[in-house]
Amino acid sequence: MQKNIALIYGDCSSPEIVAQAVRVLDKIAAKHGHTFTYTRAYMGGEAIDKFGDPLPPSELNTCLAADSVLLGAVGGPKWEGLPGEKRPEKGLLRLRAGMGLYSNNRPAKIWPQLAQASPLKESIVAKGIDFIVVRELIGGVYFGEHKTETVNGEQRATDSMCYAEHEIERIGRIGFETAQKRRKNLTCVDKANVLDTSRLWRAVMHRLQAEYPDVTYREMFVDNAAMQICKDPSQFDVIVTENMFGDILSDEASEITGSIGMVPSSSLGEGTRGLYEPIHGSAPDIAGKDIVNPTACILSAAMMLRYSFGLAAEADEMEAAVSAVLDAGLRTADIWQPGCEKIGCTAMGDAILARL
């Protein structure tokens, strides 16, 4: 198989983790007779420094021409004072919209070797943590109208949350279909007691429910869902929700698994081209120190092989190599526990490669 992967190295410590993911991809390619070629694309702070724009059209076109995109993380203190449209995060929003990626999928699964790292009680963790948040990615308040104006002598800010039926239906189908492939349990998270958009979500989801009779479906207010993720995460299989709620809940879900340094994600639309990235930030405080955890980026690359390239066996091998490294007691600083060996970013990449 021949595939072209657009690489966005990102900002601060991010290039360190992308470099390790590429090493692992190259090892998998050599082992199985694949050819992965890489095209550099710039987005976020590095694009601002190079082009004065967080995502120039030329860089979006590079991503659109690739078979998939692997991203590290963007942002950092260097660019925090810029206007909203020029901030690194705006490049990420524009990339998702430009690629038509309306479904973000974040697994929340605790590795048994890291159970003690979860902030939850042992009795809660023992019941199991294994669910996925399916988040609508290119609609809602993040893509609505934003304005700040002076009214009656004071400033007033407005952010609009808008959803159309087709936007809800397409992500709702992803939720139901994902549940069909797992434990057939879907929870739609909303705020229907307050928001018109949430009431429309419920109406559309009720129509879809009839098409998936094998899936157990329920609805939950977002504030209750945030509490239940901490109280009893074992009750969840698949959560489907709108953009802002999904952003917040998926970050919460990542924390209960022990470390955001272990959590990958995929963003998909129509077709097989996707955007794959770890859920953590660019970690500017440890940039250049070779101590950042590359595992989430490596697992994101495994998701790319599985969901965009159809290479499930190769993805399994990458995930098994990560598990074997954890079994051996090797840990980066963010997941280190007494009795384990603390290693750096490059050494973690070396260890995963050795088990491939």
Residue from 159, 223, 316, 327 carrying the catalytic annotation: 223
pLDDT for the residue numbered 117: 85
Residue from 67, 190, 247, 334 carrying the catalytic annotation: 247
Is residue 251 part of the annotated active site? The answer reads yes
Is residue 191 part of the annotated active site? The answer reads yes
pTM of the model: 0.86
* Gap between the Cα atoms of 8 and 5, Å rounded: 10
Residue from 142, 163, 212, 217 carrying the catalytic annotation: 142
CA 338 vs. chain centroid, Å, equals 29
- Domain 119-256 sits in CATH 3.40.718.10: yes
Please, where are the H alpha helices in 44-149?
45-51, 57-65, 88-98, 122-125
Average pLDDT along the chain, 356 residues, taken 10 residues at a time: 98 98 98 98 97 97 98 95 89 94 93 90 94 95 94 96 97 95 96 98 98 98 98 98 96 88 92 94 96 97 94 96 97 93 98 97
pLDDT tens digits for range 286-306 = 999 999 999 999 999 999 999
Homologous superfamily assigned to 1-101+264-356? Isopropylmalate Dehydrogenase (3.40.718.10)
Residue from 78, 184, 191, 342 carrying the catalytic annotation: 191
pLDDT for the residue numbered 116: 87
Is residue 130 part of the annotated active site? The answer reads no
pLDDT for the residue numbered 259: 80
Q: Say which residues have a Cβ less than 8 Å from residue 2's Cβ, sequence separation at least 6.
A: 34, 35, 36, 37
Helix axes 14-32, 312-327, angle to 10 degrees: 120
pLDDT tens digits for range 108-165 = 999 989 888 899 999 999 999 999 999 999 999 999 999 999 999 999 999 999 999 9
pLDDT tens digits for range 126-141 = 999 999 999 999 999 9
pLDDT for the residue numbered 201: 98
DSSP 128: -
Domain span(s) for CATH 3.40.718.10 in the chain: 1-101+264-356, 119-256
pLDDT for the residue numbered 126: 93
- CA angle, residues 14, 78, 8, in degrees to nearest 5: 30
Residue from 26, 251, 290, 350 carrying the catalytic annotation: 251
Exposed e or buried b per residue across 330-340, where buried means at least 16 C-beta atoms within 10 angstroms of its C-beta: bbbbbbbeeee
